[in-house]
Amino acid sequence: MGRYVARRLLIAIPTLLIISFVVYAILALAPGDPLAQFAANPNVPPEVREKIRVSLGLDQPWHIRYVKWLLALLRGDFGYSFGSHSPVAGLLIERLPNTLAVVGVAYILGLLLALPIGMLGAVKRYSLFDHAATTFAFIGFSVPTFFTGLLLIIIFSINLRWFPFIYDSTLKVKDLASFVDQLKQSIMPIAVLTLFNTAALARFIRAEMLEHLPLEYVRTARGKGISERLVILRHVLRNSLIPVVTLVALGIPAVFAGAIVTEQIFRVPGIGELLVRSIGTSDTPVVAAIVFLFAILVVLFNLIADVLYAVLDPRIRYA
- Residue 318 touches another protein, criterion: CB under 8 A: no
In Å, how far from its chain's centre is CA 176?
A: 30
In Å, how far from its chain's centre is CA 169?
A: 20
> Which of residues 23 and 232 has its CB atom nearest to another protein in the complex?
23
b/e 125-151 (16+ beta carbons within 10 angstroms → b): eeeeebeebbebbeebbebebeebbee
> Which of residues 241 and 297 has its CB atom nearest to another protein in the complex?
297
- Residue 247 touches another protein, criterion: CB under 8 A: no
Report in angstroms how near the CB of residue 175 gets to another protein at its nearest: 31
- Residue 257 touches another protein, criterion: CB under 8 A: yes
Confirm if 244 and 205 have CB atoms less than 8 A apart: yes
Report in angstroms how near the CB of residue 20 gets to another protein at its nearest: 11
Single out the segment in contact with another protein by CB under 8 A; choices: 140-148, 204-212, 221-229, 233-241: 140-148
- Residue 25 touches another protein, criterion: CB under 8 A: no
Report in angstroms how near the CB of residue 206 gets to another protein at its nearest: 13
> Which of residues 147 and 217 has its CB atom nearest to another protein in the complex?
147
Among 21, 264, 269, 308, binds another protein (CB under 8 A): 264
Report in angstroms how near the CB of residue 9 gets to another protein at its nearest: 14
- Residue 201 touches another protein, criterion: CB under 8 A: no
- Residue 116 touches another protein, criterion: CB under 8 A: no
Report in angstroms how near the CB of residue 120 gets to another protein at its nearest: 20
Instruction: Please give the C-alpha separations between residue 190 and each of 51, 149, 152, 227, 255, in angstroms, as whole numbers.
Output: 45, 10, 11, 38, 12
Residues ≥6 apart with Cβ < 8 Å to 92:
78, 271, 274, 289, 290, 293
Confirm if 318 and 4 have CB atoms less than 8 A apart: yes
Q: Give strand pairing partners of 87.
A: 80
Instruction: Please give the C-alpha separations between residue 311 and each of 4, 128, 205, in angstroms, as whole numbers.
Output: 11, 37, 20
Sort 214 into a burial class: Cβ within 10 Å, 0-12 / 13-18 / 19+: exposed
> Which of residues 142 and 170 has its CB atom nearest to another protein in the complex?
142
293 C-beta neighbours (distance < 10 Å), count: 15
- Residue 64 touches another protein, criterion: CB under 8 A: no
What is the binding site for another protein (CB under 8 A)? 11, 15-16, 18-19, 22-23, 26-27, 30-32, 138-139, 141-144, 146-147, 150-151, 153-154, 158, 165, 253, 257-258, 260-261, 264-265, 275-276, 279-280, 287, 290-291, 294-295, 297-299, 302
